[in-house]
């Protein structure tokens, strides 16, 4: 007869064996996953400024963290090492201009033939064109960093436009940043599969201290009239400036030459005309934009449209309520109206919503907290890289 004690030991052994089997199976699964990624070679292609493009380098490092074999590849005759963005040590840098001369399309054909990457990411149309002779050997993923309709509109040459359509249909995958951009690709190319994968937003340990009201509104974007439209924020603030005499706006962003510099001068002239020079302040490029966000209360981006809108998302991730236009692509996806900020239709409403936020510490805190949590749920690196990982493995 088997004793109760022996029965208990037998049952315990069976349970432990069961758990061990599950554990070993899971370990084998993880090893198989990692091996599959380690065997997958990825090229990230941008014809120039590849090693100084922060998004591209961060993406390469993140793919390296997942276990992929990654190379950032360009053909940049004006490359400056001092402009490089940090990369994981495991990520290779290949500048084709260091090895040969001639047309880029033939250089890419040779490097792809020699290295045999499984997947190549095209950053711009020119990169897709440079990969056009290699698409039978390597799976190509075309990325759109701006609203696709704007990209297509800029291609005026009908032959180039037709070529772009042909090449897009030959890709293994097309990626856009926002759901509303899927239809723009279909309108141009036809019925093709389009994957929506947003940019990742770094959720930093720092968070807005709502007890310290700095009475500052922040705007982060390149100074540009057509798309960024700093003049609309100037006009909106002017409408409520007298009601909030202690508040100010800090504009952060570079001013490029030519038409952008002329626009910048007009903005300064308008500020002077409004007698608000000490409250509407253009501060140029910031060396510590995170701290500038934390030293602010409200984030604004009155853009016509965005591909993603980092100037908006980064502020939300730090806990700043935000205001943007309801018709602006990407802006109207990132801001959750009446939850993480306000979406407005015109300058008058922009002023009204700024006024509401400036008038209520509690509203700013409530919306700012919601926005930070929302960025974590939708755009954190883990969430976004899981989407990329699934797409790459599906393509391979």
23-31 long-range Cβ contacts below 8 angstroms, 24+ apart: none
Q: Is 338 left (phi over 0), alpha (psi -120 to 50) or beta?
A: left
What pLDDT score was predicted for residue 371? 95
3-state DSSP call for residue 256? Answer: coil
| Mean local confidence (pLDDT), 92-100 | 83
Q: What are phi and psi of 2, to 5 degrees?
A: -85, 130
3-state DSSP call for residue 92? Answer: strand
Q: Is 46 left (phi over 0), alpha (psi -120 to 50) or beta?
A: beta
- Distance separating alpha carbons of residues 171 and 141, to the nearest angstrom: 6
Q: Where are the domains of the chain?
A: 37-199+381-395, 216-379
- The CATH class given to the 216-379 domain equals alpha beta
Share of the chain above pLDDT 70, in %: 90
Share of the chain above pLDDT 90, in %: 64
Question: Tens of pLDDT along 291-338?
Answer: 999 999 999 999 999 999 989 999 999 999 999 999 999 999 999 999
Note whether 37-199+381-395 and 216-379 share their fold: yes
Could you tell me the strand order of the sheet in which 216-220 lies?
280-284, 248-252, 216-220, 298-300, 322-325, 341-344
What pLDDT score was predicted for residue 22? 45
CATH, domain 37-199+381-395, list 3.40.50.2000, 3.30.70.100, 3.30.70.920, 2.40.40.20: 3.40.50.2000
- Distance separating alpha carbons of residues 161 and 354, to the nearest angstrom: 42
Residue scoring higher pLDDT (101 or 128):
128
What pLDDT score was predicted for residue 142? 95
Task: Return all residues near 312 (Cβ < 8 A) that are at least 6 apart.
Answer: 299, 301, 306, 322, 324, 331, 334, 335
Confidence band of 262 (pLDDT split at 50, 70, 90): very high
Alpha-carbon dihedral of residues 98, 103, 107, 109, nearest 10 degrees?
170
- Is the pLDDT reported for residue 132 higher than 70? yes
Q: Provide the whole-model pTM.
A: 0.83
| Mean local confidence (pLDDT), 211-233 | 94
């Amino acid at each position: 007869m088997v004793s109760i004690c022996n029965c208990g030991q037998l049952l315990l052994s069976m349970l432990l064996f069961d758990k061990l089997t599950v554990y070993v199976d899971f370990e084998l699964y993880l090893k198989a996953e990692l091996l599959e990624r380690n065997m997958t070679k990825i090229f990230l292609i941008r014809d120039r400024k590849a090693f100084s493009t922060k998004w591209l380098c961060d993406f390469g490092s993140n793919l390296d963290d997942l276990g992929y074999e990654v190379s950032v590849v360009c053909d940049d005759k004006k490359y400056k090492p001092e402009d490089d963005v940090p990369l994981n040590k495991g990520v290779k840098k290949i500048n084709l201009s260091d090895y040969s001369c001639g047309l880029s399309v033939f250089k890419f054909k040779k490097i792809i033939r020699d290295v045999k990457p499984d997947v190549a990411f095209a950053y711009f149309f020119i990169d897709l064109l440079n990969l056009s002779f290699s698409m039978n050997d390597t799976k190509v993923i075309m990325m759109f960093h701006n609203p696709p309709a704007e990209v297509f509109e800029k291609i005026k040459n009908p032959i180039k436009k037709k070529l772009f359509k042909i090449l897009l249909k030959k890709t293994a995958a097309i990626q856009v940043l926002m759901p509303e951009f899927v239809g723009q690709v279909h309108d141009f190319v036809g019925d093709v599969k389009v994957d929506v994968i947003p940019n990742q937003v770094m959720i930093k340990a720092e968070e807005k201290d709502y007890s310290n009201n700095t009475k500052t509104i922040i705007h982060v974007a390149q100074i540009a009239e057509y798309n960024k439209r700093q003049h609309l924020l100037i006009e909106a603030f002017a409408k409520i400036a007298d009601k909030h005499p202690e508040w100010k706006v800090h504009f952060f962003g570079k001013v490029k030459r030519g038409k952008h510099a002329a626009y910048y001068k007009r903005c300064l002239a308008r500020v002077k005309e409004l007698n608000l020079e000490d409250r509407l302040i253009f501060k140029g490029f910031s060396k510590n934009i995170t701290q500038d966000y934390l030293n602010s209360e409200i984030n604004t981006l009155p853009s016509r449209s965005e591909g993603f809108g980092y100037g908006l998302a980064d502020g939300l991730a730090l806990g700043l309520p935000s205001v943007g236009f309801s018709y602006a692509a990407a802006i109207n996806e990132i801001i959750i109206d009446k939850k993480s900020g306000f979406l407005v239709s015109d300058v008058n409403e922009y002023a009204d919503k700024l006024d509401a936020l400036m008038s209520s510490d509690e509203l700013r805190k409530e919306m700012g907290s919601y926005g930070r949590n929302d960025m974590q749920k939708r755009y954190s690196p883990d969430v976004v890289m899981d989407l990329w990982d699934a797409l790459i493995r599906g393509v391979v």
